[in-house]
């Protein structure tokens, strides 16, 4: 018989994981798995296996995981809608800018890149919807 079995003391009682597990209908591995998963000593040694073979805390963790996944999906949908709206606004602004730009001439004579304004107001030549977006 092994003399180096690790023991667990709870409520003044010291037993091996195998002995604690026997009281709860668990294996010693299940007792250590609970403790390694972050369960408190009280939870690990007082919560019996569920009637259907699942622990209550595991079930609660599963419910929480599903809830978090749904929240992430909702956040992703909202971000996608906002992104698409932003892309549409940028597209409208670029189209308006391009329409204004078509009414200007860029001179390559004398000063390269200098913009020469056409006769009259360039904005008067735009369609009304483009003029509103400038």
Q: How far apart are CA 104 and CA 95, in angstroms?
A: 15
What are the tens digits of pLDDT across the range 34-68? 888 888 888 888 887 764 445 666 777 788 889 99
Q: Mean pLDDT throughout 19-26?
A: 88
DSSP state of 26: -
Per DSSP, what are the bridge partners of residue 88?
Answer: none
Residue 133, pLDDT score: 53
In terms of phi and psi (left: phi > 0; alpha: psi -120 to 50; beta: otherwise), the region of 12 is: left
Residue 51, pLDDT score: 47
Q: How many CB atoms lie within 10 A of CB 56?
A: 12
More confident residue, 14 or 107: 14
Q: How far apart are CA 7 and CA 28, in angstroms?
A: 11
What are the tens digits of pLDDT across the range 85-134? 999 999 999 998 888 877 766 555 656 656 555 555 555 555 656 545 55
Domain boundaries, the chain: 1-48, 92-133
């Amino acid at each position: 018989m092994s003399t180096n079995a690790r023991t667990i003391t709870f409520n003044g009682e010291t037993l091996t994981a195998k002995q604690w597990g026997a009281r709860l209908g668990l294996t010693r591995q299940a007792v250590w798995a609970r403790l390694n998963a972050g369960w408190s000593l009280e939870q690990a040694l007082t919560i019996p296996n569920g009637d259907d073979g699942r622990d209550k805390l595991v079930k609660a963790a599963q419910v929480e995981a599903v809830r978090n996944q749904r929240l992430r999906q909702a956040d992703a949908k909202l971000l996608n809608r906002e992104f698409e709206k932003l892309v549409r606004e940028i597209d409208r602004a670029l189209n308006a800018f391009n329409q204004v730009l078509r009414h200007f001439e860029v001179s390559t004579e004398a000063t390269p890149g200098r913009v020469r304004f056409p006769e009259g107001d360039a904005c008067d030549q735009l369609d009304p919807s483009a003029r509103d977006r400038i």
